[in-house]
Amino acid sequence: MGIDASAPRWRRNCERYFAERLERPGLLAAVIDAPQGPGLAASGIAELFHRLPSPRWPTGRYAYLSSFSTDPRWRRHGFATALLAFLLDELRQREVSVAELHATADGEHLYSSFGFAQRTTGRELRLDLSRGPLRTHTSGSQ
């Protein structure tokens, strides 16, 4: 996705994250072993979250899909399709209301084929809190 992955800090945090969460019910990871030789052919993750239930999210359960990756040697063998189908079935069994993801141009067709679509309601806004305060807000008069 055009992000520099060489910084060691995120790797340590990622290792810690997996060590803490793989044994808990809020993280689903799926892998397909390489058909020939060592390593993986493909992998993907679904993180489960809870929020206030609403008409759009009746159970309040939602998932964020990420880290889908297929080894270039094993692309066009249906592995990403199989992983996505497996994870979505697992999410349905857990009564997850909504699944979200951010797609690369390469993966957009796959996700669209499962019914993922761009949001048409609301505006997704994000604030990077790691950058520190961008603006000082004061309420009331002094």
Q: Which runs of consecutive H residues, i.e. helices, occur in the chain?
A: 8-21, 79-93, 108-113
Give the residues of the chain that fall short of pLDDT 50: 1, 141-142
Strand partners, 30: 44
pLDDT at 48: 95
Tokens of 57: 């999210």
pLDDT at 138: 58
CB-based burial label for 60 (10 Å; 0-12, 13-18, 19+): middle
Query: Could you tell me the residue ranges of all domains in the chain?
Result: 24-118
Q: How many Å apart are CA 131 and CA 51, to the nearest integer?
A: 26
Bridge pairing between strands 61-70 and 40-50: antiparallel
CATH of 24-118, picked from 1.25.10.10, 3.40.630.30, 3.40.228.10, 3.20.20.140, is: 3.40.630.30
Tokens of 49: 């979250």
Residue with token string 């052919």: 41
pLDDT at 140: 58
pLDDT at 76: 93
